[in-house]
Amino acid sequence: MSNHISALTTLSDEEQAFREAIRTFAEGEIKPRVNKMDEEAQMDPELVKQLFEMGLMGVESPEKYGGAGGSFFMACLAVEEIGRVDGSVSVLVDVQNTLTTNAFIKWGSDAIKEKYLPKLAREWVGAYALSESGSGSDAFALKLRAEDKGDKYVLNGHKLWITNGKEASVFIVFANVDPTKGYKGITAFVVEKTFKGFTVGKKEDKLGIRASSTCELIFENCEVPKSNILGEVGKGYKVAIETLNEGRIGIGAQMIGIAQGAYEATLKYIKGREQFGKSISEYQGVQFQLSEMRVQLEAARLLVYNAARLKDSGKDFVKEAAIAKYYSSKAAEKICSMAIDLFGGNGFTKEYPVEKFFRDAKIGQIYEGTSNMQLQTIAKMELQN
């Protein structure tokens, strides 16, 4: 293991062994596939199977449901370590654990847990469908409608920018059952890919995390049994807010993973690159830039770890999650940009890994709450004190 762990929050022996296992897997199985997946904008299905076999798709799920029975912090470790190699696979694992599975564990009825958690741990990719064309940061301006039809609800409308859309077999979908009630009409539904009236639409062609599928979802008289309501009717806004608070820590973990990958690549490169008869790592200007990268990475990691530990301890973590996501996403973009600077012309080519780290880092300031929304959350909570 590299020495970046030494100054961090203490890891238990179990957590340390888990991290090392993930790193070995990421280096051996994910890294050889990264460039091909990025170029083709496709996730390797065999790799997804391996993620399940490794137990990485149900880190927090109880063992009785086929999961690993681990902590939220361990799920974040997995997201971080995979992000160090590939941001696309990292976000697939993140959405599976910190959003989808987490929501099932917290809000699912016993019947829903028994039906879906084993599948999510062993074979089914999950997705979280909140965003629409007119509801991004204004997440509750939903136009997807759910009409009560006795023993079922019928959904009509669209969702956009849904991560894991292509691979997912089950979706947590937010729709409004009564628009006159505003956000109090929003309800969370569990929709299977095979449900009548449900279609996965176009896949977006993106700047970064290209192998991660980001898709449109189409609902045309989609029939959902009432037993597939997650939580309570009209309480979907609570499900969404509380799940996203946790998910933001996961995105923070993805960002520090990406930044770590860029930092390690840069450290190796500057030691080997010579100009004017000596390694560029011997120049003070280069050393200062490297140090700035390391400081920002260390600060971001500690903020993310702190938020994850708070979540696991049952303490309030909403502000800390917003701080962690805001800072880590900004730091990742800056670190990856500086990496390209230090690589020079080589950094601007696809022959070296830093241009991809840079492209992958940008999304961190956008999804699961933009940087401006994180600042708004931080300010709101500070002003309440």
Q: What is the pLDDT of residue 9?
A: 64
- Given a cut of 50, is residue 6 above it in pLDDT? no
Q: 179, 173, 52: which is closest to 124 by C-alpha?
A: 52
- Given a cut of 50, is residue 2 above it in pLDDT? no
Do 257 and 158 share a domain, yes or no?
no
User: Residue by residue, what is the 3-state secondary structure of 290-359?
Assistant: HHHHHHHHHHHHHHHHHHHHHHHHCCCCHHHHHHHHHHHHHHHHHHHHHHHHHHHHHHHCCCCCHHHHHH
Q: What is the pLDDT of residue 77?
A: 98
Q: Dihedral (C-alpha) 186, 188, 193, 194: value to the nearest 10 degrees?
A: -90
Do 256 and 217 share a domain, yes or no?
no
Do 104 and 143 share a domain, yes or no?
no
Amino acid 200 reads: V
Catalytic residue among 132, 216, 333, 368: 368
pTM above 0.75, yes or no: yes
Domain total of the chain: 3
Q: 328, 151, 136, 348: which is closest to 248 by C-alpha?
A: 328
Q: What is the pLDDT of residues 83-128, one digit of tens each?
A: 999 999 999 999 999 999 999 999 999 999 999 999 999 999 999 9
Q: 30, 32, 19, 28: which is closest to 59 by C-alpha?
A: 19
Residue 51 maps to which CATH number?
A: 1.10.540.10
Residue numbers of the domain that contains 155: 127-234
What is the number of other CB atoms lying within 10 angstroms of the CB of residue 115?
Answer: 18
CB 17 within 8 A of CB 314: no
Domain boundary among 215, 234, 253: 234
The Cα 382–Cα 244 span in angstroms is 20
* Burial grade of 54 (CB within 10 A; 0-12, 13-18, 19 or more): middle
The Cα 307–Cα 296 span in angstroms is 17
Domain boundary among 234, 266, 298: 234
Do 209 and 255 share a domain, yes or no?
no
Residue 345 maps to which CATH number?
A: 1.20.140.10
Residue 192 maps to which CATH number?
A: 2.40.110.10
Do 257 and 350 share a domain, yes or no?
yes
Q: What is the pLDDT of residue 4?
A: 46
Do 378 and 245 share a domain, yes or no?
yes
Q: E strands, the chain, where?
A: 125-129, 145-148, 152-163, 168-176, 186-192, 198-203, 214-225, 229-230, 274-275, 278-279
Do 117 and 244 share a domain, yes or no?
no
Catalytic residue check, 368: yes
